[in-house]
Chains A and B, each alone.
Chain A
């Protein structure tokens, strides 16, 4: 049995530095941040706690001391569950998979209401030390990590190849960071809200050439809870909701780079996942009113936009620079401010994507509201977009 599934509530913390130093006399604790968000999300949904049948968590970072955080929080909230409880992991796809599993458990009838939630705490780990862990997540430990590749180094190589093949300029790529910051300035939960100029982006210290500080993701913490439910439950609340219209997934069977030389910047997994999601939703890319993309770097946003058919192949950077993907443009992308400015607490970024779409589709997005937004897409990924998971949501009022 499968049935239609909706997002009817949500709540998120501010993104940024929430984690306390190990020796701070007063500690910030994960459950004390996330549990109130559960209460807020259910209040937004207008549903009592007794309706919750399942909890699907994005796995916590290894810096979170409390293990089995899921059942720990179920106890903290006194939540008996007849559906399921789990913590999922899939690198950058972690948050997206948590949402996907919550949707699945409702679609299958195991739960009428499922929460998709998580907290990502990592800001106290120094970047060079954190990279000792993440360098082992992207690539082959014995054949890639040995050279010092970091996750964003692969995206930097996308940028170099893309500019070489398509003639895109550094300024066009950098414009994505300026646009995202402008969006974030309108988002109360964004990590960075101070306006940024193109000159500042281009002059920033290099991190992975050609990308500088403002074109790679900030490190930070965040927490979010989404209320996922059967459409009948959402309808009965009398509140606006976001209906899950379609879902697409593709993994290219390659990890980081394909051993068979191919067009690396085509992002074939995003192409495949988008095609499947559009087919499932019965729509085309041109029907979308906005898209919230998993894009840790400026170049990634350009390439995913192209792969999903939101911009033209080879023209995505120029189209972004021309304002087509900005609020008020043809297809607003990353209205939250995206990974670059909203923040990128990586294991929950996929959930923050759906949170932004829910806010937009239920007209809660304030100054960054896309007028009359009806259809929206969200994406997340693994590696160098070697896998992509894309959801299409529709506004129902």
Chain B
């Protein structure tokens, strides 16, 4: 099932670097999927994705889809933003604990309360995607 898309005018203020390894992550996000890697021997997920498992250092990993669902652990509104983000300020960013047991940091949409059920959405900028979270819709 695809994540929701939200079109955002303009380019990303600070685009991520894409490597041969992380390209599948950003390509999947552009298709509406939040993904990461899982170590084949440990069976453990990690985020951001890595070309090996940080727990047992196994070199075999597989890409898996994440639900994109979780709970809001914390958030803030950044008024004093770095120069590149001046156009977007104030910025609401937060920390979401995913149902799969991973903690991620991202842009937060709306004004959700802590511990609210959250879902991942794809912000479609003109130059590529970013992930964000909003309170689960229905």
Contact = CB atoms under 8 A, between A and B. Distances in A.
Interface in A107-147: 126-129, 131-132, 135, 139-147
A258 B83 CA distance: 27
B4 interface: no
Given A144-B105, A208-B78, A209-B77, A259 B46 contact: yes
A236 interface: no
Nearest to B132: A147
B83 A132 contact: yes
B74 interface: yes
A156 B79 CA distance: 12
Interface string B9-36: 0001111110000100000000000000
Interface string A147-172: 11110010011101100100000000
B86 interface: yes
Contacts of A157: 74-76, 94-95
A161 B81 CA distance: 21
B65 interface: no
A206 interface: yes
B76 A205 contact: no
Contacts of B63: none
Contact of A257 (B77, B90, B95, B107): B95
A258 B82 contact: no
Nearest to A160: B74
B5 interface: no
Interface string B57-94: 00000000000000001111111111111101111011
B34 to A, nearest CB: 12
Contact of B80 (A131, A144, A261): A131
Nearest to A126: B83
A150 B90 CA distance: 12
B16 A149 contact: no
A51 B103 CA distance: 52
Contacts of A210: 76
Contact of A148 (B22, B73, B85, B102): B85
Nearest to B114: A164
Nearest to A254: B103
A: contact size bracket:
35 or more
Interface in A207-237: 207-210
A273 B56 CA distance: 25
B8 to A, nearest CB: 13
Contacts of B73: 161, 261, 264
Nearest to A129: B83
A36 B81 CA distance: 37
Contact of A158 (B22, B74, B104, B106): B74
A260 interface: yes
A142 to B, nearest CB: 4
B124 to A, nearest CB: 14
A46 to B, nearest CB: 45
B105 A139 contact: yes
Contact of B86 (A128, A145, A208, A257): A128
Contact of A261 (B15, B89, B103, B114): B103
A73 to B, nearest CB: 32
Contacts of B84: 132, 148
A259 B82 contact: no
Given A145-B14, A259-B46, A160 B114 contact: yes
Given A146-B15, A147-B93, A164-B114, A153 B78 contact: yes
B48 interface: yes
A143 B101 CA distance: 18
A148 B103 contact: no
Contacts of A158: 74
B134 to A, nearest CB: 14
Contact of A260 (B48, B88, B103, B130): B103
A128 B82 contact: yes
25 contacts: A127-B80, A128-B81, A128-B82, A129-B83, A131-B80, A131-B83, A142-B22, A142-B48, A143-B48, A146-B12, A146-B13, A148-B14, A148-B85, A148-B91, A157-B74, A157-B76, A160-B75, A164-B115, A206-B77, A208-B76, A209-B77, A209-B79, A258-B103, A261-B101, A262-B103
Given A139-B105, A146-B14, A161-B114, 13 more contacts: A127-B80, A132-B82, A143-B16, A143-B105, A147-B91, A150-B80, A150-B82, A160-B74, A160-B76, A208-B76, A208-B80, A256-B105, A260-B101
Interface of A: 126-129, 131-132, 135, 139-150, 153, 156-158, 160-161, 164, 205-210, 256-262, 264
7 residue pairs, one from A and one from B, having the closest CB atoms: A156-B76, A148-B85, A131-B82, A157-B74, A142-B16, A209-B77, A161-B74
